A and B are shown apart, each in its own frame.
Chain A
């Protein structure tokens, strides 16, 4: 009983205290790591996530941020930074195909049924500690997505986890346009009661409104194509409509949230009717039921490893989903949708070995090569292969083992995370904290020594005697006259 009360008191206290920023490293004062001309990683077990499979005792030569060679006994310039990875494993940097981990000011623009004009690229949170923590788990790129509150959501952005960079420097160049769609309970607002209901509140309504929006976009195109000379009144520009036209024109890839098989088929048909394809379905817990149809359409699938049952439409889920879809030829990835889970995407991949008996190397592709391909960046990231970005993770053991951890994370041939360096930094951070706390203490101490003439002499001994004591009188003044801001 007593313990329970204590526990309750503890919980109450936690609720009252503002959450302390429980981390010491901050992005703004973290320098961008150097990019050496050459880095060579030697004698590693290299998981290429490519046709080459897993290479034993292999070397990787990195030249100015790109992978130059992969093979045995590679020759490297004398200036190269040599890393002995004997007994260790190297994989491509992990990629989270579905993340909201570094977004400020709202993940959802939840007001309208279509918010195609909003851009996650405007609100990348380069200060988020998630970036550092996920990088420490081997993640090097993530697909920052709009939420799922609307049928047609906002435009997404792919960033690398370049800790310390500005938002725009985190953006992967050369990426396709991307947009979030959503089906089912979220866009139809099943799980909360808005004061002002919004159309639609059924699954067929979600499909209908998407169809209608694209009809409108086609009309918009027609209107704008009619414009003649400079004396003709131009039609008004509309950023939402322009985004939808980019989808039809293949400039923007559609990534749609959804759970149920029937809705996937409806969306694929709607897209086909308007002449575009769905690049990937996300969550897609019933994907195993319609895997052949997804493969035929060319839609990829990015799913949870084993989350299910958190709402009605997520009931018919099985952990074999990823393996089954992969078997039927669907380009499949697993994603986090969660900043904590994103720190251990290797384990999410490993679950496909446990459930479905997927080959280990194929399983790793679920969080590397396959995710890159879904994001339209297969030629840039996701594999250990020549000419790809040197986004590499050095593991101290088998990357699909729960006991393995990341020793180093490289992005663009820059050492962004190093376990040793992190451990060493902790002493420096503690020293910095103590130094600053000392400054705070000095600041709070009365400034009597500074101007001894200001206090009558007779008070000096008294004041000194009190220097170590708290000053109850000053405290009273502070409390009653200080003014809490």
Chain B
């Protein structure tokens, strides 16, 4: 009876799964050709007026004079209108996401027995090396955000614990894990910052270090013990800890470790404890690598570097007692990526810890301004992570046989807020900004209200000159004026972008208005959040141009 019940229950679960998702993956749409574009096939390798042909998710050909197959859907760009460039899709080597639900996470924390746990008595709540990304936890929002920023491939890593589990290497297309998985067990992720608050072991950094050592010893022991027992079963069978078995590939050297470091001393600490176990991990950095760079360079370990530079200190608040350490870090931080690369360490970039991955562009622009070569920056987001991930035969550049992962940008990619138009993943087109023929001419002066929920309105004047689709101009607020980075018309819609750096803030302010006659309404977004926009044209193009 019980068995029948279980069977029925299983069938029901199965049926629900069928109902939710199609079992089979739909075939990728067939053949595409993108023409009239500048193709950056790899860092420093540029083809002017080129084209790319994609068949079934794979790049078939790329170049200046390639034949466009008769069965291809052609996406034609006019180089006269604007320089449109194609770049290899960017790869984010470290995207921490939750792998388990909160209820699971809480287990162990409340277990009274755990108080007397010694390291090694597993399961320990911080030691979950067997975790893997499951379909149920596919981070769809994160994936969409990365895609909007031009990423096509990412390492989704577990975001909590000490031995956290294995990351998954995925493409960032539509659908879930099933459609995007490249490698389910990429790296074992470790964070030396993991402690338990309260009275359980470990509640200090040195305790965490001791637990790391004990776990590694236990992983070795289990391999040895099981091997010895299998050779001679006439002895007591050693205990078997399934979580620990997940570490066997580390012990055997089949998998690599990635360690989160929170500061420079942590980086050196991570390198030391790894060396004790003959491991050569990649380190997730913190932006202060420049501080003891010689010592870090001696380790030879690859660095996954964040692009998160501090804002200028607030002089109004603290001019008198502002510390040199803070000022120094503010000044040197944008040079950190360059310095680490020059020290000869392998470097890849990550959008971590930004909630919005697009924030990397403003930071990259600062790094480039401070001497980072833009090809080196591109390499750290394409070819270098591809090599690190062992997929440099498939990803990181645009070449026949490679995954059709690329992005289409107007002009350069590495500017403060690049004009990304399309992202292609596995040969599928994701349109970020579609341009239609202009139907309105919005030149002139517009009285705007920017309505920020909970904070009130900002009254502003938008001055626009020129003709659709591209205009120039400025936004005036209380007599202060800030130039527009971009103003573009598509159909009856006006899109406006302002670089945050003009205001000494990160990211960009963007908004749009749908224009009907002399009125417009729409919305926008800024690092602070969303806001609404209302506009009324107060003078026409002639008057505006007349005074210009």
Contacts and interface: CB of A to CB of B under 8 A. Distances in A.
B229 interface: yes
A196 B199 contact: yes
A458 B325 CA distance: 43
Nearest first, the 9 closest Cβ-Cβ pairs linking A and B are A105-B205, A483-B527, A106-B204, A473-B477, A473-B480, A473-B478, A21-B323, A454-B483, A481-B526
A122 B206 contact: yes
A329 interface: no
Interface of A: 17, 20-24, 26, 28-29, 104-112, 115, 117-120, 122-127, 146, 154, 166-168, 194-196, 198, 230-234, 236-240, 429, 432-433, 436-437, 439-441, 443-444, 446-448, 451, 454-459, 462-463, 466, 471-478, 480-485
Contacts of A167: 265, 268-269
Interface stretch (B94-102, B220-228, B395-403): B220-228
Nearest to A114: B118
B35 to A, nearest CB: 33
Interface in B449-481: 450, 452, 455-456, 458, 460, 463, 465, 472-474, 476-481
B112 interface: yes
A115 B295 CA distance: 30
Given A440-B313, A482-B503, A458 B328 contact: no
13 contacts: A111-B203, A112-B118, A115-B210, A122-B205, A123-B206, A232-B228, A432-B328, A436-B328, A459-B474, A473-B476, A473-B479, A474-B482, A481-B527
Interface residues of B, number: 96
B202 A109 contact: yes
Contacts of A194: 199
Contact of A106 (B206, B503, B504, B507): B206
B322 A466 contact: no
B479 to A, nearest CB: 6
A239 B213 contact: yes
Contact of A118 (B199, B206, B272, B463): B206
Given A106-B207, A168-B268, A441-B315, 6 more contacts: A117-B213, A119-B206, A166-B295, A237-B221, A446-B482, A485-B311
Contacts of B210: 109, 115, 117-119, 122, 239
A165 to B, nearest CB: 10
A106 B199 contact: no
Contacts of B135: none
Given A122-B273, A167-B265, A236-B120, A466 B480 contact: yes
B437 interface: no
Contact of A195 (B199, B225, B232, B509): B199
B327 interface: yes
B25 interface: no
Given A122-B206, A123-B206, A234-B225, A432 B480 contact: no
B75 interface: no
Chain A binding surface, main DSSP class: loop
A463 to B, nearest CB: 6
Contacts of A458: 547-548
Nearest to B315: A440
B245 to A, nearest CB: 15
Given A234-B228, A481-B509, A111 B200 contact: yes
Contact of B318 (A20, A237, A439, A473): A20
Nearest to B529: A483
A344 to B, nearest CB: 25
A112 B201 contact: yes
Nearest to B473: A456
Contacts of A454: 472, 474, 483-484
B264 A28 contact: yes
B285 to A, nearest CB: 15
A157 to B, nearest CB: 10
Contact of B478 (A104, A240, A476): A476
B538 interface: no
B424 to A, nearest CB: 30
Contacts of B228: 230-234
B185 interface: no
Interface of B: 112, 115-116, 118-120, 195-196, 198-210, 213-214, 217-218, 221, 224-225, 228-229, 231-232, 235-236, 238, 264-265, 268-269, 272-273, 291-292, 295, 311-313, 315, 318-319, 321-328, 330-331, 450, 452, 455-456, 458, 460, 463, 465, 472-474, 476-484, 500-507, 509, 526-529, 531, 547-548
A117 B504 contact: no
A444 B505 contact: no
A477 B458 contact: yes
Contacts of A117: 119, 210, 213-214
A28 B208 CA distance: 25
B361 to A, nearest CB: 15
B118 A482 contact: no
A477 B482 contact: yes
B548 A456 contact: yes
Most buried by B among A118, A236, A240, A477: A477
B324 A440 contact: no
A457 B207 CA distance: 65
A462 B547 CA distance: 14
A108 B214 contact: no
B328 A26 contact: yes
A429 B458 contact: no
Contacts of A105: 195, 204-206, 208
Contact of B458 (A110, A462, A480): A480
A227 to B, nearest CB: 10
A478 B455 CA distance: 13
Given A236-B218, A440-B312, A478 B206 contact: no
A120 B206 contact: yes
Contacts of A480: 450, 452, 455-456, 458, 528
A117 B200 CA distance: 15
B292 A474 contact: no
Contact of B502 (A230, A232, A447, A463): A447
B478 to A, nearest CB: 4
Most buried by B among A110, A194, A432: A110
B465 A446 contact: no
A117 B231 CA distance: 32
A125 B548 contact: no
B127 to A, nearest CB: 15
A482 B474 CA distance: 18
A473 B479 CA distance: 6
A474 B484 CA distance: 13
Nearest to A113: B116
Contacts of A429: 324
A238 B120 contact: yes
Nearest to B505: A482
A458 B465 CA distance: 13
A147 B318 CA distance: 36
Contacts of A433: 322, 324, 327
Contacts of B505: 478, 481-483
Contacts of A168: 268, 272
Contacts of B527: 481-483, 485
Contacts of B207: 106, 109, 111, 115, 118
B142 to A, nearest CB: 18
A314 B478 CA distance: 67
A170 to B, nearest CB: 11
Contact of B217 (A237, A447, A478): A237
B464 to A, nearest CB: 10
B509 A477 contact: yes
B263 to A, nearest CB: 8
Nearest to A429: B324
A483 B355 CA distance: 12
B506 A26 contact: no
B205 A482 contact: no
Given A118-B204, A232-B228, A456 B474 contact: yes
